[in-house]
Structure 1
Amino acid sequence: MFADQHEDPFEERLAAALHETGGGFDTDRTALAARGEAHGRRTRFVRRAAVAGGTAGVVLACLGGALVLRPGGTATEAVPSSVTASAKPKPSITARLATDEEMIETLKNLLPQGDFSEERGQGTQPADDRKVPAPSAGLVFDDGDGAAAIGVTVGRVQPGGTVARQAAQCPDRVYIPYDACRTSRLADGSVVTVLQGYEYPDRRADTKFWSAELVTPTGQHITVSEWNAAAEKDKPVTRTDPPLNPAELTRLAAAKEWRTIANALPEPLPEPELPGSDLHARTDLLALLPKGLKVTDKSSDDGDFAYAVVDDGKGRSMVQVNVQPDMLDVAGDLFDSSSETLPDGTRVAVKQGPGDRGDQVMWTVDTMRADGRRVVISAFNAGTQNETATRETPALTIAQMRKMALDARWWSGS
């Protein structure tokens, strides 16, 4: 059926992604995780992925396809800073607890007329237990034009925090292909992002995934998801599009009923500062690229992760870099006896293997200084991780990638 509403969507897909890293990272599991996860979760994901996969490629794929958001869609209007103000205004709507059944009934009452089946709900849990799943509901809805899975999850986030900001962004098309994505502000100051995309980034099936993610100025966080099939995976497509259009998705996510449930949840924990947030990976990557390469696309901002799509006249090639301080705890999983150790203690590992799709090739140079500072660079023989090869090999050689990864520039500002 559709995503298990008894599990947090991020944690569920994280577990699935980690499980699949043994045979190659499945970027299809990034669709939901990509939208609005906290930096704290992102850091944990990087470390767990590094341990599970044992390759730099897994870490880069996780960061690129799953958790690093870069604005790539259109916006109906600019999202002013007041949307993510750091102040903590008190919610103006009364809080209420909800049972499993009430979550289901609330969703049903907010949907158009139709038939319902496979109903599942998760109610509000004790306020002192932060480890329980968030309130959610899911069902199969048929308005006469075909069965479709629909789900909603209710939560709270820090106003002005990472999740709130990322929820107001469309994902980067380099990693998450979609037909349309729009972010807009509602009259009450809430920001909603509506995404019309696909369950499988490589379009191996015609299953569409549409969602609306809403964050209010007080941190209420509601996510609505729908498919044009009775389940997100392993069910035949039953209709051309999911049943709710973007306006209807927005209205469902903005319903006051969800906000009263969100207000009964415990306040979110403060978001930890992401180590390496003072890094400038995009600036450094562009500066260190070999001469003669034309940059056709690139990350939209700086940080510890960046990518650039380059072309040497023989086809597009994506290059990714992740810069991570304090990674000694996973050194044993990333480097072995076959790795090179330089006189200053820096370790270097090189991998050349298949990419994520079709005839893709992925080359990776992973480096770690003696103090745990890590720079890992990967290059593909395609312009994205979701398309077939555009050339025989990546545009950069292993020697060029090695030189770039070992450059002192990555750490000049830290």
Structure 2
Amino acid sequence: MPVDHGPHLDTPPDPFEDRLSRALHHTGGAFDADRRALAAGGAARGRRKRLLRRTALAGGTAGVAAVCLGGTLLLAPGDRDDTPRPAPVAGRRTATASSTAAPVTADRMIATLKGLLPEGTVSDARGGGSGGRTAAPFAQLVFDDGKGAAALPVGLGRVAPGGDDARQLTECPDKVLAAYDACTSERQPDGSVVRVLKGYEYPDRRVATRLWTADLVSADGAHVSVSEWNAAAEKDAPVTRPEPPLTAAELRDLAAAPAWRDAVGSLPAAEEVTAAPAAPGGWRIAGVLAALMPDGVKVAARGSQDGEFAYVVADDGKGASYVQVNVQPGMSDVAGELFGSGAETLPDGALVAEHQGPGDRGDLVMWTVDTLRPDGRRIVVSAFNAASQTTAATRATPALTMGQLRAIALSSRWLALG
């Protein structure tokens, strides 16, 4: 629930939108789509629409890493290795019974947050209880310990215990996909896990606004989310101090305070997840992408997430180049939106579109080959002239030519993924 002193704050924030937005912050660079539209589409059609928007025909935001479906955030694990892992389960959700605990009020949320903060002054406090439109308790305020004002919100929610949401909220993101300075994930004595992430409001760091977050997920699915900035508002506010006021340890302890867990008791139980058809597995996609690199191009790093997305950092000896692929089944129904009249139709019926344009940063170049097979399988391969989508250019153009990207996208090896 980021603090922004505009009038729209009179509408209580949605914790799912906030989690999705924060995930996009940490993985998508300058991507800034309609958050409510993204959050609303849990069905397969909605997922395809998001994928369509993410890998659109032009612009650096087309390269945003794969967005999850059904509420699963798109943060990927840090410190990855290439050990095969099953693809995350994501699918239709079914609500379980609601809690009978008394609703938590906005006043209680605000008072709890104030009482847990160190010595300092508080202004612009507001909050929401569990009985409101969103049933999502939150409190937000501007805190000043004498060294500069800082926005500081807390939000409560539930996730399915042991589910993909819980995992991704507590794992450190892949540093190739996310711009941050430090991340820790610690199990607490009561079995809950707290992740503290020191990052930036803008992953490309175009301004000095820092965003530090702590997410706690308990064994029974309670989720406590705390954020702090080194400015009095999330965006468009002057930086007031070098860093946010709470240290990593203080931020962790604030998220882990027992008072929040008591308040979560007023929320409905988390929804259960019904398994969707198994995706091929991001680790398998990453392996195919690495194997398809041209001769003379070495793979310096690779990673994956959500069963449909993978990347490699390729180097031909002239500088690192980020190459990503999305493998998306069942996309035939949006072929008309993906491929216009200028698309090429191959003899086997496959559609191909090629695009060259700027990336998210002014010095970045993005080259893309977008393909749609007759069976509805979409393979989109993009390459950049940098080691990631948010770091400085390492070369004038990507390490792979358009012809090489086309060969990768049209390779029959993708068909073997099933």
TM-score by length of 2: 0.82
From the superposition, tell whether residues 9 and 62 of structure 1 become closer, same or farther in structure 2 (CA, over 3 Å). farther
1:109 aligned counterpart, secondary structure: helix
- Out of 321, 325, 333, the residue aligned to residue 321 of structure 1 is 325
From the superposition, tell whether residues 14 and 187 of structure 1 become closer, same or farther in structure 2 (CA, over 3 Å). closer
After superposition, residues 136-175 of structure 1 pair within 5 angstroms as: 136-175=138-177
- Out of 210, 214, 229, the residue aligned to residue 227 of structure 1 is 229
How many angstroms apart in 2 are the aligned matches of 1:398 and 1:235? 42
Cα distance, 1:262 vs. partner?
Answer: 1.5
Cα distance, 1:270 vs. partner?
Answer: 2.4
How many angstroms apart in 1 are the aligned matches of 2:31 and 2:417? 34
Q: Render the CA deviation track for 1:280-321: whole Å, top value 9, x for unaligned.
A: 211111111112111112106783210001110111100000
- Out of 120, 133, 139, the residue aligned to residue 114 of structure 1 is 120
How many angstroms apart in 1 are the aligned matches of 2:23 and 2:162? 28
How many angstroms apart in 2 are the aligned matches of 1:135 and 1:383? 40
The answer to whether 1:103 aligns with 2:109 is: yes
2:272 aligned counterpart, secondary structure: coil
After superposition, residues 211-222 of structure 1 pair within 5 angstroms as: 211-222=213-224
Contact conserved, 1:95 with 1:262, CA < 8 A, in 2? no
Cα distance, 1:15 vs. partner?
Answer: 8.2
Aligned letter for 1:114?
Answer: G
Residue matched to 2:372? 368
TM-score by length of 1: 0.83
Aligned letter for 1:55?
Answer: L
How many angstroms apart in 2 are the aligned matches of 1:247 and 1:42? 40
From the superposition, tell whether residues 297 and 15 of structure 1 become closer, same or farther in structure 2 (CA, over 3 Å). closer
Residue matched to 1:83? none
Residue matched to 2:91? none
Residue matched to 1:70? 76
Contact conserved, 2:126 with 2:140, CA < 8 A, in 1? yes
Aligned letter for 2:163?
Answer: G
How many angstroms apart in 2 are the aligned matches of 1:100 and 1:199? 26
After superposition, residues 15-414 of structure 1 pair within 5 angstroms as: 27-28=29-30, 40=42, 44=46, 47-48=49-50, 50-51=52-53, 54-55=56-57, 58-63=61-66, 68-72=74-78, 95-125=101-131, 132=134, 134-273=136-275, 277-279=279-281, 280-299=284-303, 303-414=307-418
1:27 aligned counterpart, secondary structure: coil
How many angstroms apart in 2 are the aligned matches of 1:336 and 1:364? 15
Contact conserved, 2:61 with 2:360, CA < 8 A, in 1? no
Contact conserved, 2:55 with 2:380, CA < 8 A, in 1? no
Aligned letter for 1:234?
Answer: D
Q: Render the CA deviation track for 1:358-394: whole Å, top value 9, x for unaligned.
A: 2211001111112211110000011111122211111
2:231 aligned counterpart, secondary structure: coil
Aligned letter for 1:395?
Answer: A
Cα distance, 1:17 vs. partner?
Answer: 11
Cα distance, 1:133 vs. partner?
Answer: 5.5
Residue matched to 2:89? none
Aligned letter for 1:102?
Answer: R
2:396 aligned counterpart, secondary structure: coil
How many angstroms apart in 1 are the aligned matches of 2:272 and 2:3? 31
Contact conserved, 2:156 with 2:224, CA < 8 A, in 1? yes
Pairs aligned (count)? 382
Contact conserved, 1:73 with 1:172, CA < 8 A, in 2? yes
Aligned letter for 1:124?
Answer: S
Aligned letter for 1:410?
Answer: W
- Out of 7, 17, 32, the residue aligned to residue 11 of structure 1 is 17
How many angstroms apart in 1 are the aligned matches of 2:28 and 2:185? 27
Moved more, 377-386 or 131-140: 131-140
Contact conserved, 2:183 with 2:198, CA < 8 A, in 1? yes
Moved more, 301-310 or 347-356: 301-310
Q: Render the CA deviation track for 1:31-73: whole Å, top value 9, x for unaligned.
A: xx9xxx9995898455235158743764531528995433226
From the superposition, tell whether residues 192 and 26 of structure 1 become closer, same or farther in structure 2 (CA, over 3 Å). closer
How many angstroms apart in 2 are the aligned matches of 1:390 and 1:329? 38
Name structure 2 gaps, 5 residues minimum: 81-98
Q: Render the CA deviation track for 1:131-150: whole Å, top value 9, x for unaligned.
A: 82621111101111110000
How many angstroms apart in 2 are the aligned matches of 1:157 and 1:301? 19
Q: Render the CA deviation track for 1:236-293: whole Å, top value 9, x for unaligned.
A: 1111211111111111111122112222211222235455523421111111111211
1:239 aligned counterpart, secondary structure: coil
From the superposition, tell whether residues 70 and 372 of structure 1 become closer, same or farther in structure 2 (CA, over 3 Å). same
From the superposition, tell whether residues 233 and 113 of structure 1 become closer, same or farther in structure 2 (CA, over 3 Å). same
Aligned letter for 1:288?
Answer: L
How many angstroms apart in 2 are the aligned matches of 1:185 and 1:300? 25
Cα distance, 1:228 vs. partner?
Answer: 0.8
RMSD: 3.2
How many angstroms apart in 2 are the aligned matches of 1:39 and 1:307? 25
Q: Render the CA deviation track for 1:66-94: whole Å, top value 9, x for unaligned.
A: 954332269xxxxxxxxxxxxxxxxxx99
1:183 aligned counterpart, secondary structure: strand
